[in-house]
Chain A
Amino acid sequence: MRKEESVTEQLKETLTPDRKERKNLISLLQEIQESLGYLPREAMTELAKFLEMPAVRVYSVATFYNQFRFTSIGKYPIQVCLGTACHLRGGKLILQEFERQLGIKVGETSQDGNFSLERVACMGCCMLAPVVRIGGRAPAVKIGDKIYPKMTPFRVDEISVPYKQEIEKERSEEEQIPQ
């Protein structure tokens, strides 16, 4: 999130007069989350004003759906699939292993803001179960938003390596810049 701008400023592009209809509520929430990474309180109040409806209705709709987050997401969001096929093939063990390695619980973001951990209900890649999706762009992984198939608890560390290297690289580059 670009901190220097106020939320109102940032929403200007999304909240255009032609979209002032009640039925656009969910898609507007989706777009706001897409650009800000989550739904800050101010954004929901702003949206309520825009659609001329009580803020509590906006909050009610936003909290109803699983997609919406109210805290910021990690730079590399991790989604562990716990659909039926992934469950049968040990998806829960993968989730627990991520929790141990990152020192966070599902639904949380690591303190340095790099990783967040979520469980999702099914990505539709059941033949490759259990699967994990890691978002965000890390040049070492070549493509952003990658799905890792046939996971085992042992591979959790292995697939995290390129992301950790990227974080490390950025940190050392930052340190090299003379103040």
Chain B
Amino acid sequence: MTFKELTNRAKSEWEALQSSTHILVGTATCGRAAGAMETVRAFEEELKRRNIEVKVIEVGCMGLCYAEPLIAISRPESLRVVYHHMTQEFVPRLVEGYIISDDPCLELALGTFEVGEEGEAPYIPELPRFEKELRLVLRRCGYIDPENINHYLANDGYRGLENALKMRPEEIIEEIKKSGLRGRGGAGFPTGLKWEICHSYSASPKYIVCNADEGDPGAFMDRIVLESDPQQVIEGMIIGGYAIGADEGYIYIRAEYPLAVERVKVALQQAEKLGFLGDNILSSGFGFRINLATGAGAFVSGEETGLMAAIEGETSEPRPRPPYPAESGLWGKPTALNNVKTFANIHLIVERGADWFASIGTEKSKGTALFSLAGKIKDSGLTEVPMGTTIHEIVYDIGDGILNDRQFKAVQIGGPSGGMIPANLQNTPIDFDSLTSIGSMMGSGGFIVMDEDDCAVDATCFFVDFITKESCGKCTPCRVGNLQMLKVLENITNGKGKMEDIDFLLELAEDIKGGSLCALGGTAPNPVLTSIRYFQDEYEAHVLEKRCPAKVCTNLTAYWILQEKCDRSCEHCVLTCPTEAIGGGVGKAKHIDQEKCVNCGTCRDVCPPEYDAVVKLSPISLLPLEDFAAKEKAVTKAIGESET
């Protein structure tokens, strides 16, 4: 079939679906964790029981992860309604209400896709979040079935490739260069330039590699793109292959994303079946194949040379550059390696033109940025905004502010390689260069919000601990230096720090930066450098007063039951304490045995709000003398255990 015939067939399938009542359920990993598969099953059972023929389609993620399970009911000539938090128990009600009768159950709705009547559910495109967003890569996510290539084709899919195959490779590269697209993996190297260099080498074969080893803990953009709309990534890779002169590609996905692996597998099979992969693609004479490789759980595999080593079946140890992969990459051949989101942008640039793409964003950072919002933010999930949007707009307009209306403290952009940006810099626009100038980096898109209850030192300790575990061990500054930083940081969080430790950390951080071969080591000190730069007072409180201002560091904090507030007849804390540390006897005020307490906080969670008797104290010297002695004993024991 020709491209036109394929598209027409897909369109008629899509239109037939649109003109029938159907149900979309978001079943990306986030939806599943919230119970989406149970909802799908409940719909199928309920419809079968009532003998109704309505399609239930599993789609990806709309990015509103906080509202999962998210479902949409679409009825021709009526409102298309999106419902949030739809766990299985709501299913009978929706079937009864909006499948059988005409009640759209708007009290359960997040919004509608058409303008409804005044006072009804909100019109989705006018929600504050969507007004700030610009969805390019995400525009089909959550609307199409990722395991049905016809849904993709019916929504402009593979039009970019069709255009591209009519152009000369040099023209495509020129177009990508002109668009200003920079690599979305974090470093921001111009994609067109990378491809041009790769194109200029005559060696054969050449390779296209897609980096989907999203190792940054707290980031999930690539996962959602691959689980929701994998074909656009495949299309980008094929165009890339044509442009640089490669006939084979690899997509490397981390094994922690089993669903993404599965959906990409299906997408590749379907693309091959329709002739978008294989020999003579769309009768152009150009042939291209894509292999799927799954990662085995190493953060350093996300580094480009480490990733290629992993595909070759080796340990993911980065190697020195130059030569850059564009000259000598996979098996020593010219290789263009790009991130999932970079490939996802390619077909749009080819289809809509470089000028259109370059009109979005800032002078030096074009297009959109994808962020996964997590941590202490109300509406966590995925967002896509034009470059240049400020941190404030993302936190407040898109994320709806801080959870429980606490004080916004900082945001960690770029994960363990990024920096901690304090709330007073929230008007910083998000683009490659602005973030670098304040000591952070774009990274691949992790956006972790911290509030006043998060400790800057503890968070830094977490990132350094992560890097220490994930360092491949090849370069001494990274392997030993990070471990040393971790020990110093742990000392500080344990109340054993000295003032000179802070200077020592700064010095060591610079050495690790300078002495590491790859970006993992080179950026590892960023959290340390930025947290000292912006939160030095917190470090000092830990060192000088043995106090953790956020009351997070376990060995500087104690739980305490306010005797005058304790109800005495209530036994909630006593019964739930996992270490049986709470006593006091029936009818008496409860008391925590500090030696047994493990600071889990269960007592505070279960203490009824009308008493609110459990508090956290820091420093621990605020405890009465006897309890303080017991707590100190417990701390000494805990530190001793962690050191052995």
A contact set with B: CB distance below 8 Å: 22-27, 29-30, 60-61, 64-68, 82-85, 87-90, 93, 96-97, 100-101, 120-129, 131, 142-143, 147, 149, 152-154
Q: When the two chains form the complex, which single residue of B216, B316, B606 contacts A122, counting CB atoms closer than 8 Å?
A: B216
Q: Across the interface, which residues of A come within 8 angstroms of B576, CB to CB?
A: 154
Known: A87-B462, A88-B459, A153-B600. A123 touches B296 (CB 8 A): no
Q: Across the interface, which residues of A come within 8 angstroms of B38, CB to CB?
A: 142-143
Verify B600–A93 contact, CB threshold 8 A.
Answer: yes
**B334 interface residue (CB < 8 Å to A):** no
Q: Across the interface, which residues of A come within 8 angstroms of B218, CB to CB?
A: 83-85, 122, 126
Q: How far is the CA of A67 from the CA of B258 in the complex (A)?
A: 13
- Interface hits, B51-88 → A, CB 8 Å: 65-66, 68
Q: Across the interface, which residues of A come within 8 angstroms of B315, CB to CB?
A: 60-61, 64-65
**B313 interface residue (CB < 8 Å to A):** yes
Verify B217–A122 contact, CB threshold 8 A.
Answer: yes
Verify A154–B602 contact, CB threshold 8 A.
Answer: yes
Instruction: Specify which of A64, A82, A122 lies most central, judged by the most chain B CB atoms within 10 Å of its CB.
Output: A122
* Minimal beta-carbon separation of B556 from chain A (angstroms): 15
Q: How far is the CA of A120 from the CA of B296 in the complex (A)?
A: 12
Task: Count B-side interface residues using an 8 Å CB cutoff.
Answer: 65
Verify B256–A30 contact, CB threshold 8 A.
Answer: no
Q: How far is the CA of A23 from the CA of B29 in the complex (A)?
A: 29
Q: When the two chains form the complex, which single residue of B224, B255, B446, B472 contacts A67, counting CB atoms closer than 8 Å?
A: B255
Known: A22-B312, A23-B313. A65 touches B298 (CB 8 A): yes
Known: A122-B256, A124-B220. A131 touches B33 (CB 8 A): yes
Q: When the two chains form the complex, which single residue of B217, B316, B578, B601 contacts A83, counting CB atoms closer than 8 Å?
A: B217
| A87, closest chain B residue (CB) | B462
**B340 interface residue (CB < 8 Å to A):** no
Q: How far is the CA of A23 from the CA of B292 in the complex (A)?
A: 12
Q: Across the interface, which residues of B come within 8 angstroms of A125, CB to CB?
A: 29-30, 33, 65, 220
Q: When the two chains form the complex, which single residue of B294, B376, B466, B472 contacts A121, counting CB atoms closer than 8 Å?
A: B466
Q: When the two chains form the complex, which single residue of B256, B294, B412, B415 contacts A120, counting CB atoms closer than 8 Å?
A: B256
Verify B310–A66 contact, CB threshold 8 A.
Answer: no
Known: A87-B462, A120-B256, A121-B299. A97 touches B374 (CB 8 A): no
Can you list 22 residue pairs at the A/B interface with Cβ under 8 Å? A22-B312, A23-B311, A23-B313, A84-B462, A85-B374, A88-B459, A89-B375, A96-B600, A97-B578, A121-B470, A122-B215, A122-B216, A122-B217, A122-B219, A124-B30, A124-B223, A124-B256, A125-B220, A126-B375, A128-B65, A142-B38, A147-B33
B contact set with A: CB distance below 8 Å: 29-30, 32-34, 37-38, 65-66, 68, 214-220, 223-224, 255-257, 293-299, 310-316, 372-376, 380-381, 412, 415, 446, 448, 450, 454, 459, 462-463, 466, 470, 472, 576, 578-579, 598-602, 605-606
Q: Is the interface of A mostly helix, strand, loop or mixed?
A: helix
Q: How far is the CA of A26 from the CA of B252 in the complex (A)?
A: 12
Verify A153–B450 contact, CB threshold 8 A.
Answer: no
Q: How far is the CA of A166 from the CA of B381 in the complex (A)?
A: 35
Q: When the two chains form the complex, which single residue of B295, B374, B446, B598 contacts A127, counting CB atoms closer than 8 Å?
A: B374
Verify A67–B579 contact, CB threshold 8 A.
Answer: no
Q: Across the interface, which residues of B come within 8 angstroms of A84, CB to CB?
A: 217-218, 374-375, 412, 415, 446, 448, 459, 462-463
